[in-house]
Amino acid sequence: MSLVVDNIGLLVTNDPGLGRGPLGTIEDASVVVEDGVVVSVGRRGQAADERIDAAGRCVLPGFVDSHSHLVFAGDRAEEFTARMAGTPYDGGGIRVTTEKTRSSATSELIDLTAQRVAEARRSGTTTIEIKSGYGLNVADEVRSLEVASTFSTETTFLGAHLVPAEFEGRTDDYVDLVCGEMLEATAPLANWIDVFCERGAFDADQSARVLDAGRAAGLGLRLHANQLGHGPGVQLAVEKGCASVDHCTYLSDDDVEALAASDTVATFLPATDFSTRQPYPDARRVIDAGAQVAIASNCNPGSSYTTSLPFCVALAVRDMGMTIEEAVRSVTVGGARALRRPDLGRLTLGSAGHAVILEATSYHHLAYRPGVQLVAQVIG
Ligand code: NIG
């Protein structure tokens, strides 16, 4: 079965060799998808079994959200309200959500996650990575990843999110559990492992142990780092060959240099800095140094309760020194690179037929019209 998206006013292919500028844009275009894969990109008027009329609007590759924590119960609206009144974010609320998540039925976790995935899709996300990390014991981490795998093939074991209350003062014992029994039980359900490497969570040595154990179990590596202050996380991520190091709010010159000389993607999470009143990362400095970048939602109940990548694009352009083209690439090919998925984030021959039709004639509207529902249709 083939499908043509026809009458596209402005198509973003993300292949500069196919069209104009860094987004490889083509005017008056059409894209043909067969069995979920792009088989032709050309002028308007191509034929296929089914036709969607884009009516002259802008079409982009589906957004790739490479960082989310969608499996959780309850919310932390009170914590957010206190933060707006001056209480700083320190990650401690992860234990509150862990308690709620542990005591919820699996059917409830499935329903809540389904709602969040659907919400993300409505704002154009066609691929979303989902982490565990609110179970923090063997049974609940397994359960979280079972739920996550129902909705995504990109699942991440984040047992090392925070030390749970029952291990208070015994972080190394908890790391033993994460690297041992917990990893053994969760590895078949995940393709990535992640650690929160930050003061108050896990230090560089503990994080390195978890990453090494994850690699030995066949998982790809990712890291949360440099969210709340400067620290060793970015250098550790580069040294260990992580696919992505996420947050990167506080970066030293050495961190930027290390990122630029590596394959590790610096993934920015601007909705987090918005919601925690942190400074925004200086993306301009990182891009100018030559590092690979991505933008993700980090949807979670504590530091960033949004699934909207268009909102993140608007923040990146307004507050992080990115051009709109860089921000659009960051939520498409950037996210794909952070997940090591070259088939995603582009509309070129052989790539996944995931596309977004905007309710606008230009992608500029994503930053220009913040807070407005600009996604008319999601394909794939
Ligand atoms: O990436 N920092 C660690 N994890 C999440 C926050 C989780 C929470 O506060 O519940 C983050 O911001």
Domains assigned to the chain: 2-62+345-379 (2.30.40.10), 63-338 (3.20.20.140)
Q: Which amino acid is at 367?
A: A
Q: Quick one: pLDDT at residue 124?
A: 98
Q: Quick one: pLDDT at residue 376?
A: 98
Three-state DSSP at 249 gives coil
Residue nearest to atom 8 of ligand 1 (CA): 302
Q: Quick one: pLDDT at residue 299?
A: 99
Q: Quick one: pLDDT at residue 207?
A: 98
Q: Of 89, 224, 275, which is best to mutate to test ligand 1, by the most ligand atoms within 8 angstroms of its C-beta?
A: 224
Q: Look up the pTM and report it.
A: 0.98
Q: How many angstroms is it from 90 CA to the middle of ligand 1?
A: 9
Four-point Cα dihedral 361, 364, 369, 371, nearest 10: 100
Q: What is the mean pLDDT of the segment spanning 281-291?
A: 98
9 in ligand 1 pocket by Cβ < 6 Å?
no
Q: What is the mean pLDDT of the segment spanning 164-175?
A: 98
249 in ligand 1 pocket by Cβ < 6 Å?
no
pLDDT tens, position by position, 204-249: 999 999 999 999 999 999 999 999 999 999 999 999 999 999 999 9
Residue 299: other Cβ atoms inside 10 A: 28
Of residues 264, 252, 257, the one with CA closest to residue 293: 264
Q: What is the mean pLDDT of the segment spanning 252-258?
A: 98
In our burial notation (b when 16+ CB lie closer than 10 A, e otherwise), range 350-373 reads ebbbbbbbbebeebebbbeebeee
Q: How many angstroms is it from 300 CA to the middle of ligand 1?
A: 7
Q: Which amino acid is at 285?
A: R
Please report where in the chains the tokens 């699996």 appear, as a residue.
Answer: 106
Average pLDDT, the chain: 98
Q: What is the mean pLDDT of the segment spanning 243-256?
A: 98
C-alpha 39 chain-centroid distance: 27
Q: Quick one: pLDDT at residue 239?
A: 98
Q: Of 67, 144, 161, which is best to mutate to test ligand 1, by the most ligand atoms within 8 angstroms of its C-beta?
A: 161
68 in ligand 1 pocket by Cβ < 6 Å?
no
pLDDT band at 82 (very low <50, low <70, confident <90, very high): very high
Q: Quick one: pLDDT at residue 61?
A: 98
Whole-angstrom Cα distance, residue 103 to residue 98? 9
H helices of 218-345, in order, are 233-240, 253-260, 270-276, 283-289, 309-319, 324-329, 335-338
162 in ligand 1 pocket by Cβ < 6 Å?
no
Percent of the chain with pLDDT over 90: 100
Burial of residue 316 (number of CB atoms within 10 Å: 0-12, 13-18, 19+): buried
Which DSSP category does 74 fall into? Answer: S
Whole-angstrom Cα distance, residue 323 to residue 21? 12
Q: Quick one: pLDDT at residue 164?
A: 98
Whole-angstrom Cα distance, residue 272 to residue 226? 13
Q: Of 68, 69, 99, 132, which is best to mutate to test ligand 1, by the most ligand atoms within 8 angstroms of its C-beta?
A: 69
Q: What is the mean pLDDT of the segment spanning 332-349?
A: 98
Of residues 8, 54, 64, the one with CA closest to residue 376: 54
